[in-house]
Amino acid sequence: MSKMYKISKERLDELYAAVSAVKSLYLPVRSGENQSEFKKWSDQSDVCLDSLNTVKSAKELFFPQSENLISFKVSGKDIELVEDRDPSEPFVLFGVRACDAKSFSILDSVFLSDPVDTFYKSRRENGTVVTLACRAPEETCFCGTFGIDASDPAGGDVKTWLTDTELYWEAVSEKGEELTKLLTGILSEADADADTKAVDDLKKNTKEILARLPLADLKLDYFSGDRLNEKLNDVFYAPQWQELYKSCLGCGTCTFVCPTCQCYDIRDFDTGHGIKRFRCWDSCMYSDFTKMAHGNPRTSQLERFRQRFMHKLVYYPANNGGEYSCVGCGRCLAKCPVSMNIVKVIKAFGGEKA
Amino acid sequence: MQRINDDVLNKCRDLIENGTCDRVLAWEEGEFCYDVTPAVFTGDTLGKMIYDDFCAANQSKYLIDESHKEGRIAALLKPCDTYSFNQLLKENRIKRENVYVLGVPCDGKIDAEKARGLGIKGILGAEIDGDTVAFETIYGKKTCSKKDVLHEKCLSCKGKKHMIFDELTDPEKEPETAVPENGTSRFDGVSKLENMTAEERFRFWRGELSRCIRCNACRNVCPACSCRQCVFDNPASGVSSKANTNDFEENLYHIIRAFHVAGRCTDCGECTRVCPENIPLHLLNRKFIKDINELYGEYQAGYDTALDAPLTSYTKQDAEPGIVHERGVR
Ligand code: SF4
Ligand code: SF4
Ligand code: SF4
Ligand code: SF4
């Protein structure tokens, strides 16, 4: 284990300024009434480290809502290809909760498998992730169902814990060590006894709350095991979907706030002076999703609704060694206009206490 | 906490047993107290039906589809929902004979998101006692005034009178006329914006609308947005804007949508309720409503199904286009 550092809570602005001096810093800042989003830090930023879920998840830093891929300039019979890629800047993503941190590995298996998505890859390489352990989980949190430890987040480069007075800082990767080195003047070494105890107490306290959460008993038994592929048809044709989908408005909010939703559309836009090819988030809940020359393979909202959950609970795990593509962040629970969500789906398939 | 009034439940059971209806549109309980979901119940499942202070969703839009199915559905409609119901009838979107409107009383609906904003986290349950809400949370009991956690739409309630119904579950509670609740005018927010300089107002809307993530919740929940396929969802329309060409396009989308529903928007407040970014979309719609009132005379969409709508009927007194210039920039 590498060395633990700390900085007093009052001096966090100095920490932000020091990071910003070397790399762009993105962290949760207040955005609208009672909401937060990951935004680039400036000394004007209203940083809010006590918000658990930003509206959009941290995935946006690696997989932006929309980005230009390439442009075409047409002159006569010649078509010129222009690379539009923004030269990915090195950046630090601070204040990432355990659930979002876990989502990166789920996105990695999609975007970093052959054929590698070079846009995503360069952002992953350029980003240093600083996680922040949770202290006060919400009733909607169910990261534990996916084996995620909110008190000790994995998947980042630096781990941090925030107590009432201090931020504790521990590098857990090479990238993390490098960042720590740049901050030697700002961070001070933590005390081996007192500070270790403070962090341990915080972890213990969080774990105790996590165990009491209303969704702590949520089990995925129905969707587990190596027989997932065989069970696929049973789930697909299950009568439960007939009822579950009915309230769904097909709005796509759940997919846009979800840290693990990864579908996108690629289109060409005629600017009048040439063509820009862009990609943007798409939603399986939308009627034009995966529209092909012959039309759309999923013509009803039932089919579209089912697709979202089949992907998260069946298709993805069947193809990724049993790992689900949900991290239990609870965003879809808090944000769906009609409160239909993955927990209700899991429970409809018997996901109560084992 | 009891989640449905026995009278309401018994009424629904009667309606099914005596053959008036074959199903009921109401709400189903969720994991916590607030995450209720609109659902359709039959005689066998009626026991799961609820209606309480968390049932905020406007049910009218579901009746477009439900009323085109076989049989007849009983729908629990709150006073505000009946405006949307009327408006949809006027637009020929609902088959009236297939719906039995059961008017339910409403004391204002609670927004869990607002409670979170007050620092009430980890909400498990709630007990409502008059004007006080006592939340049971992971972090202990927390109390607040009900008014502080009411949805925006309830803070500017148009009144507790149902504009249309086949039967009321509590006829004694029904007022003679629709009187706005809670004292404040629903146009106060608009007046505040009107009193800003153009530049201030521009900055205000840029700040609000630029947070939009274009999840489409506002549009899809909106009873006035009932086109089978929205032009913005149609890849062949040339305007299907899944991504923005510049940072103003998103702002413009909302302005266009407000124009599109002007004169038809009943101010049901669903857009603001569902927006994950808490964008006060109702202010745009209310600006249109206020302007229509001022330019064409008082008009409330959904008040009934017969009145001519000011923007789709012509009278000689109608404002001339020049009004835009006269009222223009302050
Ligand atoms: S599940 Fe909810 S958030 Fe998702 S598309 Fe349906 S209504 Fe929208
Ligand atoms: S499905 Fe819902 S809970 Fe799961 S990761 Fe996505 S938003 Fe979070
Ligand atoms: S789901 Fe877990 S990691 Fe995510 S915010 Fe909640 S407690 Fe923290
Ligand atoms: S609900 Fe809010 S975030 Fe979603 S499209 Fe409407 S304004 Fe934008």
The yes-or-no verdict on residue B39 having pLDDT over 90 is yes
Break chain A into its structural domains and give their ranges: 4-212, 221-349
The yes-or-no verdict on residue A353 having pLDDT over 50 is no
**Using the beta-carbon criterion (under 8 Å), do A32 and B31 form an inter-chain contact?**
no
Q: Report the alpha-carbon distance of residue B65 to residue B95 in Å, rounded.
A: 9
Q: What is the pTM of this model?
A: 0.93
Query: What residue's CA is closest to ligand 3, atom 7?
Result: A137
User: Which of chain B's residues have a Cβ under 8 Å away from the Cβ of A71?
Assistant: none
Please give the distance, rounded to the nearest whole angstrom, from the Cα atom of residue A337 to the centre of ligand 2: 15
Substitution site in A104, A132, A134, A140 for ligand 3 pocket (most atoms within 8 Å of beta carbon): A134
Which residue has better confidence, A269 or A132?
A132
Over the range A303-319, which residues count as b (16 or more CB within 10 Å of their CB) and which as e? bbbbbbbbbbbbbbbbe
B116 in A contact zone (CB under 8 Å)? yes
Please give the distance, rounded to the nearest whole angstrom, from the Cα atom of residue A259 to the centre of ligand 2: 7
The yes-or-no verdict on residue B110 having pLDDT over 90 is yes
pLDDT digits (tens, 9 = 90+) for B160-173: 999 999 999 999 99
Structure-token pair, residue A76: 């006569």
The yes-or-no verdict on residue A39 having pLDDT over 70 is yes
pLDDT at B263: 93
Residue A258's pLDDT band (cuts 50, 70, 90): very high
Q: Which residues contact B157 (CB under 8 A, 6 or more apart)?
A: B79, B80, B108, B180, B181, B182
Phi/psi of residue B165, nearest 5 degrees: -170, 160
Beta-carbon count within 10 A of A169 CB: 24
pLDDT digits (tens, 9 = 90+) for B118-133: 999 999 999 999 999 9
pLDDT at B327: 80
pLDDT digits (tens, 9 = 90+) for B212-270: 999 999 999 999 999 888 888 887 887 777 888 788 888 999 999 999 999 999 999 99
Query: What residue's CA is closest to ligand 2, atom 8?
Result: A329
Q: Which ligand is nearest to the CA of A147?
A: 3
DSSP symbol at A46:
-
The yes-or-no verdict on residue A88 having pLDDT over 90 is no
Beta-carbon count within 10 A of A322 CB: 14
pLDDT at A291: 80
- Cis ω on the peptide bond leading into residue A115 (within 30° of 0)? yes
Query: What residue's CA is closest to ligand 3, atom 5?
Result: A52
DSSP string, B76-109: EE-HHHHHHHHHHHHTT-S-GGGEEEEE------
Q: Report the alpha-carbon distance of residue B190 to residue A343 in Å, rounded.
A: 39
Q: Which ligand is nearest to the CA of B225?
A: 4
B138 in A contact zone (CB under 8 Å)? yes
pLDDT at A226: 66
Q: Give the alpha-carbon dihedral of A351, B3, B6, B7, to 10 degrees.
A: -120
The yes-or-no verdict on residue A128 having pLDDT over 50 is yes
The yes-or-no verdict on residue B100 having pLDDT over 70 is yes
**Mean pLDDT confidence for A286-300:** 83
DSSP string, A258-271: -SS---EEEEEEE-
The yes-or-no verdict on residue A308 having pLDDT over 60 is yes
pLDDT digits (tens, 9 = 90+) for B184-216: 688 999 999 999 999 999 999 999 999 999 999
DSSP symbol at B162:
-
Q: How many Cα atoms within 13 Å fall on the side-chain side of residue A345?
A: 27
Closest partner residue to B35 (CB to CB) among A55, A278, A333 is A333
pLDDT at B292: 92
Share of chain B above pLDDT 70, in %: 98
